[in-house]
Amino acid sequence: MPFVEEELRWDLACRREADGHWRGWISLSVEARALWRLGLHPDHPSSAVSGPSPPAWWHAAGLRYATARPASP
């Protein structure tokens, strides 16, 4: 792995929904100097927008896909 443990931070947030089910989120943060070492910095060519944004339906379809739940058996 290109990072050492001290360069990473992960957090867990959870709560009980109205229906009684638990929901959780994990966030991962990487220190900027670790990303810089890999060539990921503001001067890196891929850090700038290089083309048009996808159409609005693309984002909406992604949200529907991400929140779709399989049918219970």
Can you give the residue range of the structural domain that contains 2? Answer: 1-41
User: If you search the block for the tokens 């994990």, which residue do you land on?
Assistant: 26
In a domain, 31, yes or no: yes
Q: What is the pLDDT of residue 72?
A: 57
In a domain, 72, yes or no: no
In a domain, 58, yes or no: no
Query: What mean pLDDT, rounded, does the chain reach?
Result: 84
Give me 58's structure tokens: 């693309």
In a domain, 37, yes or no: yes
In the chain, how many domains are there?
1
pLDDT tens sequence across 30-41: 998 888 888 787
- pLDDT tens, residue order, the chain (73 aa): 688 899 999 999 999 999 999 999 999 999 988 888 887 877 766 666 778 888 889 888 888 888 876 665 5
In a domain, 32, yes or no: yes
In a domain, 9, yes or no: yes
In a domain, 66, yes or no: no
